[in-house]
Amino acid sequence: QVDSSWRRERILHVPLCKEDCEEWWEDCKDALTCKENWHKGWNWATGTNRCPWGSMCRPFSEVFPRPKDLCEKIWSNSYRHSPERRGSGLCIQMWFDPAQGNPNVAVAKYYAWKKRSCPAQVENVAPERDHAVRALPWSVLAL
Protein backbone atom coordinates (compact mmCIF):
# COMPACT_ATOMS: atom_id res chain seq x y z
CA GLN A 1 0.00 0.00 0.00
CA VAL A 2 1.12 3.53 -0.73
CA ASP A 3 -0.15 6.90 0.29
CA SER A 4 -0.06 8.91 -2.91
CA SER A 5 -2.49 11.06 -4.81
CA TRP A 6 -2.31 8.90 -7.92
CA ARG A 7 -2.83 5.40 -6.46
CA ARG A 8 -3.38 3.42 -3.29
CA GLU A 9 -1.42 0.30 -4.16
CA ARG A 10 1.51 -0.51 -6.37
CA ILE A 11 4.17 -3.10 -6.93
CA LEU A 12 7.71 -2.23 -5.93
CA HIS A 13 11.06 -3.87 -6.73
CA VAL A 14 9.58 -6.93 -8.46
CA PRO A 15 12.58 -8.87 -9.80
CA LEU A 16 12.40 -9.19 -13.60
CA CYS A 17 14.32 -12.05 -15.16
CA LYS A 18 17.53 -10.94 -16.84
CA GLU A 19 16.45 -12.11 -20.31
CA ASP A 20 13.08 -10.38 -20.07
CA CYS A 21 14.60 -7.05 -19.11
CA GLU A 22 17.19 -7.32 -21.89
CA GLU A 23 14.62 -8.36 -24.52
CA TRP A 24 12.27 -5.53 -23.49
CA TRP A 25 15.11 -3.02 -23.93
CA GLU A 26 16.18 -4.57 -27.25
CA ASP A 27 12.61 -4.50 -28.60
CA CYS A 28 12.10 -0.84 -27.64
CA LYS A 29 15.56 0.70 -28.03
CA ASP A 30 14.66 2.49 -31.28
CA ALA A 31 11.17 3.59 -30.17
CA LEU A 32 10.71 7.16 -29.00
CA THR A 33 9.81 8.48 -25.57
CA CYS A 34 9.76 11.88 -23.93
CA LYS A 35 9.98 10.69 -20.34
CA GLU A 36 12.07 8.44 -18.14
CA ASN A 37 9.35 7.81 -15.53
CA TRP A 38 5.99 6.87 -17.02
CA HIS A 39 4.14 6.74 -13.71
CA LYS A 40 3.62 10.47 -13.40
CA GLY A 41 4.37 13.88 -14.86
CA TRP A 42 2.26 13.60 -18.02
CA ASN A 43 0.32 16.49 -19.51
CA TRP A 44 -3.37 15.57 -19.09
CA ALA A 45 -4.77 18.87 -20.49
CA THR A 46 -6.50 17.07 -23.38
CA GLY A 47 -7.84 14.27 -21.17
CA THR A 48 -5.23 11.79 -22.36
CA ASN A 49 -1.61 11.45 -21.37
CA ARG A 50 0.65 13.58 -23.54
CA CYS A 51 4.32 14.46 -23.20
CA PRO A 52 4.97 17.35 -20.81
CA TRP A 53 5.19 20.76 -22.48
CA GLY A 54 8.68 21.36 -23.84
CA SER A 55 9.84 17.76 -23.63
CA MET A 56 11.60 16.22 -26.60
CA CYS A 57 11.06 12.70 -27.90
CA ARG A 58 14.26 10.68 -27.98
CA PRO A 59 15.09 7.04 -28.67
CA PHE A 60 14.70 4.70 -25.69
CA SER A 61 18.39 3.86 -26.03
CA GLU A 62 19.24 7.50 -25.12
CA VAL A 63 16.74 7.80 -22.28
CA PHE A 64 17.55 4.30 -20.99
CA PRO A 65 21.18 3.54 -21.97
CA ARG A 66 21.12 0.05 -20.43
CA PRO A 67 18.39 -2.58 -20.00
CA LYS A 68 18.57 -2.07 -16.24
CA ASP A 69 17.75 1.64 -16.69
CA LEU A 70 14.58 0.83 -18.63
CA CYS A 71 13.36 -1.91 -16.31
CA GLU A 72 13.92 0.02 -13.10
CA LYS A 73 13.12 3.60 -14.10
CA ILE A 74 10.20 3.47 -16.55
CA TRP A 75 7.67 2.55 -13.84
CA SER A 76 9.48 4.27 -10.91
CA ASN A 77 11.09 1.18 -9.40
CA SER A 78 8.09 -1.11 -9.77
CA TYR A 79 10.54 -3.58 -11.29
CA ARG A 80 14.11 -4.49 -10.46
CA HIS A 81 16.59 -5.85 -12.99
CA SER A 82 17.49 -9.27 -11.64
CA PRO A 83 20.63 -11.25 -12.44
CA GLU A 84 18.46 -14.36 -12.17
CA ARG A 85 17.42 -16.21 -15.30
CA ARG A 86 14.08 -17.59 -16.46
CA GLY A 87 13.27 -20.84 -14.76
CA SER A 88 15.23 -19.98 -11.61
CA GLY A 89 12.04 -19.51 -9.59
CA LEU A 90 13.46 -16.21 -8.35
CA CYS A 91 12.33 -13.73 -11.00
CA ILE A 92 9.18 -12.76 -12.86
CA GLN A 93 8.93 -13.57 -16.56
CA MET A 94 7.16 -10.94 -18.62
CA TRP A 95 6.62 -13.31 -21.52
CA PHE A 96 5.72 -16.99 -21.40
CA ASP A 97 3.47 -19.50 -23.12
CA PRO A 98 0.26 -19.69 -21.05
CA ALA A 99 -0.36 -23.18 -22.42
CA GLN A 100 2.75 -24.24 -20.46
CA GLY A 101 1.41 -22.67 -17.26
CA ASN A 102 2.34 -19.42 -15.57
CA PRO A 103 5.87 -19.65 -14.10
CA ASN A 104 5.23 -16.49 -12.08
CA VAL A 105 2.77 -18.21 -9.75
CA ALA A 106 5.58 -20.16 -8.09
CA VAL A 107 7.76 -17.03 -7.90
CA ALA A 108 4.99 -15.02 -6.23
CA LYS A 109 4.26 -17.82 -3.79
CA TYR A 110 7.95 -18.16 -2.98
CA TYR A 111 8.34 -14.47 -2.11
CA ALA A 112 5.08 -14.45 -0.14
CA TRP A 113 6.30 -17.48 1.82
CA LYS A 114 9.74 -15.86 2.26
CA LYS A 115 8.18 -12.64 3.57
CA ARG A 116 6.11 -14.56 6.13
CA SER A 117 9.11 -16.65 7.19
CA CYS A 118 11.71 -13.89 7.51
CA PRO A 119 10.21 -10.49 6.69
CA ALA A 120 13.37 -8.47 7.36
CA GLN A 121 15.32 -10.33 4.67
CA VAL A 122 12.89 -9.86 1.78
CA GLU A 123 13.17 -6.12 1.13
CA ASN A 124 15.13 -5.52 -2.10
CA VAL A 125 17.20 -8.65 -1.67
CA ALA A 126 16.87 -11.74 -3.82
CA PRO A 127 17.57 -14.98 -1.96
CA GLU A 128 20.51 -17.10 -2.93
CA ARG A 129 19.77 -19.23 -5.97
CA ASP A 130 20.62 -22.59 -4.41
CA HIS A 131 18.25 -22.02 -1.51
CA ALA A 132 15.21 -21.04 -3.57
CA VAL A 133 13.72 -24.43 -4.35
CA ARG A 134 14.82 -26.15 -1.14
CA ALA A 135 13.15 -23.40 0.90
CA LEU A 136 9.77 -23.80 -0.78
CA PRO A 137 7.08 -25.79 0.98
CA TRP A 138 6.06 -28.94 -0.88
CA SER A 139 2.62 -27.49 -1.70
CA VAL A 140 4.28 -24.72 -3.72
CA LEU A 141 6.65 -27.09 -5.47
CA ALA A 142 3.77 -29.31 -6.53
CA LEU A 143 2.12 -26.64 -8.69
Residue 139 falls within a domain, yes or no? no
In a domain, 129, yes or no: no
> What is the model's pLDDT at position 132?
43
143 located within any domain: no
Is 40 inside a domain boundary? yes
Q: What is the pLDDT of residue 119?
A: 66
Q: What average pLDDT does the chain have?
A: 85
26: containing domain: 14-117
Convert 83-139 into a string of H (helix), E (strand) and C (coil): CCCCCCCCCECCCCCHHHCCCHHHHHHHHHHHHHHCHHHCCCCCCCHHHHHHHCCHH
Residues 6+ apart with CB under 8 A from 2: 8, 9, 10
Per-residue pLDDT at 136: 43
Q: How many domains does the chain have?
A: 1
Has residue 136 been placed in a domain?
Answer: no
The string of pLDDT tens digits covering residues 4-18 is 776 788 889 999 999
Residue 140 maps to a domain = no
pTM, full prediction: 0.75
